[in-house]
Each structure stands twice: as C-alpha cells, then as structure tokens.
Structure 1
Amino acid sequence: MHTVSKRTLMDKTAPNRSTGIINGKSSNVLNWDDVRFPWAYPKYKKMLSNFWTPFEINMAQDIKQFPNLSEAEQDTFLKIIGLLALLDSIQTDYAGKVADYLTDSSLNALMIMLAQQEVIHNHSYSYVLSSLVSKQKQDEVFEFWRTEPILERRNDFVVRGYRDFVEQPNVEHLLKSIVFDVILEGLFFYSGFAFFYHLARNQKMVATSTMINYINRDEHIHVDLFVKIFKEILNEYPEYKKKLEPFVQQTFLQAAELEIEWARYIIGHRIDGIFINEVEDYIKFYANVRANQLGYDRPFEGYRKNPLRWIKAYEEVDLGKSDFFEQKSRQYTKVNYVDNGFDEL
C-alpha cells in the first residue's frame, strides 16, 4: 500500500514547481507563474473573487419573520443550521490535514483558502442564530449533533471516512476521504439548501437564504477543487481507479440513503409546498452527479434531470445585477451549472 509523506517546510534542493501532487518534490516556495497544475491559478482567482462575510447580510426582516414561521418551519430551520454548523466544522479541520500532504504549494494555498471559507460559513450560522434566538437556544442548536440519532448516523459515516486517512495516511485512504468530502459538500447539504430556498421562494427568511446562496456557491467550488485533486492523484496512481469502483458505488448509495432519511425527518410531509418525493429524487440526482464528476458510473438508474428545477433561480445570479433577494448587488461571475452538466446528465 502506498504511503503519503507530509510536505517539507522548505527544500533547497527541489524545484518550485512540484514533481507530483503527492509524494513529490517541491521547494515549497509559491510562485503562481511556476506551478504544476494550470487550473490552480484560475481556481485561486475564483475563490478570491467570491470572498464574503456574514456582516454583509442584513437580518432585520428575518428577525421580524422568524416568530411567524410555523412550528415545523422553525424546528426544521434550526435543525438544518445545527447540521450545517457541524459539517463545516469538520471541513475546516479536514482541509488543513489534506493540505499537509499536497506537494504543490499552490494546492496547499487553495486548501487554506477553502478552510478559511469554511470558518466564514460557521461564523454565518452563529450570526444567523444570534440574530433570531436566545443564547440558550443557540447553544442547544450547536448541540443537536450529539442528541439527534439520524444526525449521528450521517456524521459518523463521514467522520469514519476522514479518520481512516488522518490515522493511517496512505494513498487509498486519501482518495477515499476525498469521496467522503464530495459527499459531505456536494450531497449532504442539499436537502437543507432546498428548504431555505423554498422559504425564500415564499418570501420568508430571505436574508438567511442569501447567506445559504453564498455558501452553496462556495461548496460548488470546493467540490470541483477536490474532484480535480482526486483525478490528479489517480493520474499518478492509476491502479486505484478500478480498485475504488465498488467502494465509490456503495458509498454513494449509502450516502443517498442517509440523506433521504434526514430529508424525511426534517421535511417529510410537514412543510407546505415541498414534496418529499421530489426531494428524494433530487438527492438521487445529485448522488449521480457527484459520482459521475469523480469519473465513476452513476449509482442510480435514471435520475438524469433535476426534479427541483426552480432551485436554479436561487443558485445562479447574473453579474452585477441586484439579485432576487434584494440584499445587495453581487459582483461575481455567474457559473452556469446547466452548461457544466450539473442539471442534466
């Protein structure tokens, strides 16, 4: 089994441009004009241009609306925030651990930026909660991951995949941990996102949905970054491509089952206007999208079209136009996920 070695702090005998994505040689000096992967600098510029903070979001209207949400809507709202807070906390730490083993200094830089964005995501959940509920309730929300059995099953599923890499860093465990990362950032958020966009569609909690929109945009970029890293590692260690195929299929099937279980629990038939069968199809659709992005067969037969097409209006905003949330003018480039094959497969 191939081990992976940590990147050295400085190596005078090595070139600035790394000789491999992992287990390579690099001086560890970052020169953006002399990096191994041509996609690294465009990714850096994209992540930089998407910088935001929770302070940009005016919560005044949400503060007025939250007490008027139904009991089921309030409960779902808080439980999803609790889930997202845990997942992004894990991501911050995981990104740093992966960065230690990436030889190329540009990829290390991208991981640090990714980790910073996850910190901002976690801050945004505290920002929203502190605006809407008491400190006691806020603390309770941040403890949901300890007390909700369905959350525990989902979280243990991902944490076990990460822990194997952390405790036994080798190529296979690194690749498998990236599969779990793509599931976490590219699947486990999505029923929660659908709920917040549904509220916004009904002119409820629009500021919170603006924040979710920013996070959603970041997570798309994070998934794409990890997919690129995954494929570059397979380019250097091609023997793992076939070896991981059964693992990828089984892991995505299990992940979709866990996400569907969670969606039935938090949304089910208690949120007016969201049909749980469509959310379940949406989860299977995204499981197919993510497995396909990684270069493997789709785990679910069919499910080639997004059943919640209305969500696209909430994920994509044109350059420089005041968005539908009417929160602020967003100066960033629209990414058309339909063109990228994310809406139909």
Structure 2
Amino acid sequence: MAEILRKAHVLNPTNPNKSTKLFGGKASGILNWNDIAYPHFYKHREQIRALFWRASEVDMTQDVKQFPELPERTKNAFLKIIGLLATLDGPQTRIAHAISQYATDPSVQSIMATIADQESEHNHSYAYVLSSVVSLAEQNESFETGRKDLVLLKRNQRIMDVYNTFVEKPTIENVLKTIVYTALLEGLFFYSGFAFFYNLARQQLMVGTSTMISYINREELQHGRFISELFRATLAENPHLNTEGFADWVYEQFRVSVELESEWSRYILAGIDGIDLVEMEGYVKYRANKMLRLMGLSEIYPEHTKNTMPWIEAYVDNFDGNKTDFFEQKSRQYTKTSDLNGFDEL
C-alpha cells in the first residue's frame, strides 16, 4: 500500500538544513538559498519573483468604452472565457499551498508560496476586468460558468478528480499526478482563452484586458517551467514510480486534455473573427509537445512541432525581461491608473 505523506514540520532543528528529499524527506525548515538540494531552483525563484504586478495598475479606460460595441458573440465569449480562467486559477492558489505543505524541501515551500500569491492575483485580475466592463449581475454570472456550463464541467472533471484525490490521499504518486495537471493548467489549458484576448489586441480592441492577460501569461510560463523541473526531480527521487505504466498515464492525460481543450475551443471560439479553429487545435498540440519536452518526456504530436499560430508569438513565447507593446514591439512601462479602472478618465 502506498505510504501516506505527512505534512512537513514547520521547524525541526534536529534535521539538516539541506533537505534529504523533496517529499517524504527530512529538513530543519531553515532555508539557506546558498545551500539547497537543487541549486538551479534558485534561478526559478528569481525568475518568478521578477514578474510582480498588480491588476489595479492596468488602465482599463479604453476597454470600458469598447466592450459595449463588441459583437454579441464576442462579448459572450469574453465573459465565458473569463469564467473559465477564474475556474482554473482559483484552485491553483490552494493546490500550490497544498503541494508546499507536503514538500520537505524549504526551497520548494518558498517557491510554491510565491506561485500561490501570483495565482491569487490572477484570480483577482479577472474580477477586476469584469468590474470594469459589466454590471455586478453579469460579473456573477460569468463566475458561475465553472459551476454550470456543461462543456466546461466536462473539461474540468479530471482536474477536479486528480486534485481532490491528492488532498484526500497525499501519496508520492498523487503528488506527481497533481504536478502533471498543474503543468497542464500552466502550459496548455489557458491558451485558447489567451489566444482569444490576443486576437482582440491584434484588432486594437480590449488592449487593457489583453495587457493584463499577457502579464498572467508571463507568470504561467515561469510557473510551468518550475513545475516541470519539480516533476523531473521528484520522479528521479522515486525511481519505483518511473515506469512505463506511469509514463503511459501521463501521455493519456495529455491526449485527453488536448481533445478537451480543442472541444472547448470549437465551442467558445466558433465564429470569432480572426481565429482559425484548425490552427487553434494545432497550436494546442504544439503546446502539449512543448510541455512534455519540459517534463523530460517525448512528443506525442510529431506533426505539430511548429507553431500554427505564429502571430501569437508577439504575446506568448518570446518573453524576456521586458514588457513589450502588442503592435510595435517596443519596450514599454505599465500604464497605471490614478483611480480604480481608469474611470476618472471617462
């Protein structure tokens, strides 16, 4: 029977400062970044923390003016996609905390605390966007999407099952499965929604929202990179789980997730000007290949090694240390508002 993990002690000076294992090991709880078991985790820590921002700093003035003029189909997609993103990002705050509770490496605990904080701001940003453009009743309806929309419920069922199983039965195998689904969220599940907002930005529409999404996207990319490293290191420490059967399970989750993401895309993006659904499905498969490579696994879509939506690279995959303008790709600073959502400029 699989061993149930205990929550890591907050402080135990009888243990060494450098952890003996990521999960199920020993560590004092004293974190010395200059002497950690996986030194490259420090680089991830610095990259993640370098991306601090707040939703209230993004100017929504033009979005407030433009949203009522959008086609009804686009407005409906906008609200449902915000509902989707909130459904995914809300639990990410808790699951990051849950993983950290069982991590016996204090560097992992620290990084997951930062990730949890950023996920909390992501969730807040969706409420901030909606409060800018629609009434409270419409905001609440958008946040009900994750509870009531049948396509979305089907799409999220496996996520719920894996996350809740880990909380109820915290074994090493369930930690690994939770990390796999965290990687899927950070690197795959958000991307049809992100593409919708970036497509609006291409048309110089809802640029405030798209700017905010790009900041979220930057953080999700860094989260995905760290989570992939955590997966590889945890699996290496537990070779009894590094089996063909477990690899097959991971590949199956990716295949099913790609199918569900593509189904969601057809459901929510059909009829949206500028979005090609065939290209979107190819892009989802391309993203799946990228995440599998990061996790040390093989690609499962050899025909999709190139980005089928190259225009999206202006917003997604070529981030460096600068925030860049959507249209001219020049380095820019945040446009901060002097009052909530920029309403003072209307």
What's the TM-score, normalizing by structure 1? Answer: 0.92
CA–CA distance in 1 between the matches of 2:306 and 2:216?
Answer: 23
Structure showing greater relative contact order (alpha-carbon pairs closer than 8 Å, 6 or more residues apart): 2
Per-residue deviation, residues 192-219 of structure 1 (Å, max 9, x unmatched): 0111100001101001000000011110
**Contact 1:18–1:104 (Cα < 8 Å) also in 2:** yes
2:254 aligns to what?
252
Alignment counterpart, residue 329 of structure 1, candidates 316, 328, 332: 332
Superposition pairs of residues 44-123 of structure 1, within 5 angstroms? 44-123=45-124
Q: Specify every segment of 5 or more residues in structure 2 that has no aligned partner in the other structure, as ranges.
A: 335-346
Shift of 1:320: 5.0
CA–CA distance in 2 between the matches of 1:232 and 1:90?
Answer: 24
Per-residue deviation, residues 32-53 of structure 1 (Å, max 9, x unmatched): 1222111222222112211000
Shift of 1:321: 6.7
**Contact 1:317–1:323 (Cα < 8 Å) also in 2:** no
Secondary structure of the structure 1 residue equivalent to 2:189: coil
Per-residue deviation, residues 261-311 of structure 1 (Å, max 9, x unmatched): 10000002x111211100011111111221222222222242110101111
CA–CA distance in 2 between the matches of 1:36 and 1:146?
Answer: 41
Amino acid paired to 1:255? S
2:264 aligns to what?
262
- Cα root mean square deviation, aligned: 1.7
Q: Is the alpha carbon distance of 1:321 and 1:306 closer, same or farther for their aligned partners in structure 2, counting shifts above 3 Å?
A: closer
2:305 aligns to what?
304
CA–CA distance in 2 between the matches of 1:99 and 1:44?
Answer: 14
Shift of 1:19: 1.1
Secondary structure of the structure 2 residue equivalent to 1:103: coil
CA–CA distance in 2 between the matches of 1:162 and 1:238?
Answer: 23
Q: Is the alpha carbon distance of 1:196 and 1:168 closer, same or farther for their aligned partners in structure 2, counting shifts above 3 Å?
A: same
**Contact 2:229–2:294 (Cα < 8 Å) also in 1:** no
1:286 aligns to what?
287
Q: Is the alpha carbon distance of 1:301 and 1:45 closer, same or farther for their aligned partners in structure 2, counting shifts above 3 Å?
A: closer
What's the TM-score, normalizing by structure 2? Answer: 0.91
1:157 aligns to what?
158
**Contact 1:130–1:138 (Cα < 8 Å) also in 2:** yes
Q: Specify every segment of 5 or more residues in structure 1 that has no aligned partner in the other structure, as ranges.
A: 332-345
**Contact 2:41–2:107 (Cα < 8 Å) also in 1:** yes
Amino acid paired to 1:263? S
Shift of 1:224: 0.9
| Count of paired positions | 330
CA–CA distance in 2 between the matches of 1:107 and 1:178?
Answer: 13
Shift of 1:94: 0.4
Matched-pair identity in %:
45
CA–CA distance in 2 between the matches of 1:164 and 1:322?
Answer: 40
CA–CA distance in 1 between the matches of 2:90 and 2:323?
Answer: 32
**Contact 1:80–1:192 (Cα < 8 Å) also in 2:** yes
**Contact 2:322–2:331 (Cα < 8 Å) also in 1:** no
